[in-house]
Amino acid sequence: MNPQAPFNVLFAVLFGMVVVWFVLIKLLCIRLETAHPQKYEAMGRPSPFLRNNIATGWATMKFLFTREHRTLNDPYLSKLSDAMLVFFAIYLVLFLWLSFFISGSPAA
């Protein structure tokens, strides 16, 4: 077995997860914009591509990590936000595992 195979598979998985993350962010932004426009405006009108900056990114992550969706009483938004939080945690673990895999591998 190729010693690079686990690295290549994990890299491909992480790349795919980034694509999924952008889709989840887009769903979150659409829901906030349509169902909770005041919260959406207060967050700086976040978007995965347009108006994407540090402030809106931070506001989005703060919204997820502090679980601000609870105050909005929106079951769909709560499920989406909770799923995104779990997805982010899984991505972070896999990313760190890949980082340690790279740093622990002998130089070619």
User: How confident is the prediction for the chain on average, in pLDDT?
Assistant: 91
Q: Whole-structure pTM over 0.85, yes or no?
A: yes
pLDDT category of residue 99 using cuts at 50, 70 and 90: confident
pLDDT category of residue 104 using cuts at 50, 70 and 90: low
Tens digits of residue pLDDT in 52-66: 889 999 999 999 999
Amino acid at 10: L
Mean pLDDT of the 69-86 span: 97
> Is residue 92 packed enough to be buried (19+ CB in 10 Å), middle (13-18) or exposed (0-12)?
exposed
Residue whose token pair is 């890299």? 11
* Predicted local distance difference test score (pLDDT) of residue 108: 47
The whole-angstrom separation of Cα 61 and Cα 58 is: 5
Mean pLDDT of the 90-108 span: 79
* Predicted local distance difference test score (pLDDT) of residue 107: 52
Cα four-point dihedral sign 38, 63, 54, 83? negative
